[in-house]
Amino acid sequence: MQHESFSILKDEVATSVNKLVNSFLANKEYNQDDVQNWTASLSEDIVKNLKGMSTNFKFCVSCVILQKGDAGMHISTTCYWDSNTDGSVAIKCENNSMYCIVNIFGVSF
Amino acid sequence: MADEGQAPDDLTFTHQELDEKATEAIEAVLASKIYDEKEVSRWINEICERIIKSLYDTRKPFKYMVTCLIMQKTEAGLLTSGACMFEGGTDMMQQFLWPKEKAKDQANKTMHAVVTIFCARF
C-alpha cells in the first residue's frame, strides 16, 4: 500500500520494531563472537518487516549494540529531506547485558 | 539556458567521496580532543551538520540522512550494522569508523566515532 507521509506509518513502525527488538534481545547475553551476526540479522529482519508496510518508501535501518559497562556514548542524526513526507524513528531497548539502539529512516519516492 | 549552478550529471556517490566527507568532518571537530561528557553532544551535532552541508553543496538531487555516534574508549564492546531497502544503482549507504585502523599513532586515544551516511535519489 502507498502512504502519503511517514508520520502516518510512524506508530506502526515503532510498535512493530520495538516488539522485534525486545524479542530478539530476550535471553541473550553479550558475546563478542555472536554480536556481529546479531546486528546484521536484526537490521535485515527489520528492513524485511518494513518492506511489508509500505510500497512507496525507501528505508534505512541502523542498529547499534553496546555492552553495558561504564562507557559513555552519544548518537546524533541529521537529515536533509522533504519534511512533509519523510521521517525517522529511534528505538532504544535493553536487557541485562546490553543496550540496543535502532534508527529507522523512511524516505518517500 | 545558463549553466551556472547546474548540478553535475553523476547519478550516485562513490565510497571514496563519502569517506572523504566523513573523515574531514570528524577530523575538524575531534582531532586532539579528549572525551568530555559535556561537550560530546555538541560535537556529534557539529559533525552531522558539516557532513550534511558538504553533501548539500554537491548539488546532486539526493535526500541525505547522517548518523554520528561517539563512544568513549573503554573495555566495552560496540557493534553497529546498517540495512537498507533502496534503489540499487543510485542510492548509497556507508558506515565509517574513526580513527581508522592504520592511523593508530596520531588518532584520538579516548574515543571512537562511527558515521553512517544514507543517500536516496529523488
Residue B1 lies inside a defined structural domain of this protein: no
Residue from B98, B91, B101, B96 nearest B113 by CA: B98
Tell me whether residues B79 and A74 touch, CB distance under 8 A.
no
B116 neighbors B81 (Cβ within 8 angstroms): no
The predicted-structure confidence for A50-107, as pLDDT tens digits, reads as follows 888 888 889 999 999 988 888 888 899 999 999 999 999 999 999 899 999 999 999 9
A6-108 placed in CATH 3.30.1140.40: yes
Tell me whether residues B79 and A76 touch, CB distance under 8 A.
no
Place of cell 550494522: B81
Residue B8 lies inside a defined structural domain of this protein: no
Which amino acid is present at A25? L
Instruction: Give B 19-78 residues with CB within 8 A of chain A.
Output: 35, 37, 40-41, 44-45, 47-49, 51-52, 55-56, 63-78
d(CA B113, CA A27): 29
* CATH number of the domain where residue B81 is located: 3.30.1140.40
Structural domain boundaries in chain A: 6-108
* pTM for this model (two decimals): 0.81
**Region B102-106 average pLDDT:** 59
Residue B50 lies inside a defined structural domain of this protein: yes
Quote the number of domains for chain B.
Answer: 1
Domain range for B40 is: 13-121
pLDDT of residue B7: 41
The number of C-beta contacts closer than 8 angstroms across A and B is 150
The predicted-structure confidence for B36-85, as pLDDT tens digits, reads as follows 889 999 999 999 999 999 999 999 999 999 999 999 888 888 888 888 88
Residue B7 lies inside a defined structural domain of this protein: no
